[in-house]
Amino acid sequence: MKRKRIRHTASFEERLAMQAQRLKEQAQTLPPGNDREMLLKRVQQTETACRINAWLTSPGLRSPE
């Protein structure tokens, strides 16, 4: 069985940023409560993933010794 390959038009960082923005907009439409807090937590996780990815792909990153 072969896997379906997807060719992304946006980079990983761009997709993460778009997802974070979309989740922020969704959270703003919800009243304060559990659902809103869960969306804001996902926003934070997505932004953290974006920062980690930027750090991992930076040219100044050193390999472990």
Q: What is the pLDDT of residues 9-64, one digit of tens each?
A: 888 889 999 999 999 999 999 999 999 999 999 999 999 999 888 888 888 766 66
Q: What pLDDT does residue 43 have?
A: 95
Residue 62 has, within 13 A of its CA and on its CB side, a CA count of 2
Give the confidence band of 65 by pLDDT, cuts at 50, 70, 90.
low
| Residue 33, Ramachandran bin (φ over 0: left; ψ between -120 and 50: alpha; else beta) | left
